[in-house]
Amino acid sequence: MTRIYALVNQKGGVGKTTTAINLGANIANFGMRVLLVDIDPQANATSCLGINHAEVRQGTYDAFIGQVPASEIVLHNQKLKLSLLPSSSALAGAQIEMVDVPERERLLSKMLQPLSRKYDYILVDCPPSLGLLTLNGLLAATSGVIIPIQCEYLALEGLTQLMDTLTRVRNGLFPGLSIRGMLLTMYDSRTNLSQDVVGEVRKHFPDEVFQTVIPRSVRLAEAPSHGLPITAYSPNSSGAVAYQSLARELLQGDGIENVETIRNNEVRNE
Q: Hey, which CATH number is domain 3-257, 3.30.530.50, 3.30.870.10, 3.40.50.300, 3.30.70.360?
A: 3.40.50.300
Q: How far is Cα 15 from Cα 213, in angstroms, rounded to an integer? A: 12
Give residue-wise pLDDT tens across range 124-153. 999 998 889 999 999 999 999 999 999 988
Q: Looking at residue 210, what is its pLDDT?
A: 97
Q: How far is Cα 172 from Cα 179, in angstroms, rounded to an integer? A: 17
How far apart, in Å, do the first and last CA atoms of the chain sit?
Answer: 25
Amino acid at 153: Y
For the chain, how are helix, strand and coil distributed in percent, rounded to 5? 50, 15, 35
The pTM for the full model equals 0.93
Give residue-wise pLDDT tens across range 189-232. 889 989 999 999 999 899 999 999 999 999 999 999 999 999 99
Band of pLDDT at residue 268, cut at 50, 70 and 90: very low
3-state secondary structure of 4: strand
Q: Identify which has the larger pLDDT, 150 or 265.
A: 150
Give residue-wise pLDDT tens across range 164-180. 999 999 999 999 999 99
Q: Which backbone phi and psi does 29 adopt, to 5 degrees? A: -65, -25
Q: Where are the domains of the chain?
A: 3-257
Q: Identify which has the larger pLDDT, 270 or 201.
A: 201
Give residue-wise pLDDT tens across range 63-112. 998 889 999 999 999 989 999 999 988 888 877 888 788 889 999 999 99
Q: How far is Cα 116 from Cα 241, in angstroms, rounded to an integer? A: 29
Q: Identify which has the larger pLDDT, 22 or 159.
A: 22
The answer, yes or no, to whether residue 48 has pLDDT greater than 90, is: yes
Mean pLDDT for 47-76 is 90
Q: Is residue 224 a contact partner of residue 48, using CB atoms and an 8 Å limit?
A: yes
Q: How far is Cα 139 from Cα 107, in angstroms, rounded to an integer? A: 9
What contacts 65, CB < 8 A, 6 or more positions away?
A: 94, 97, 98
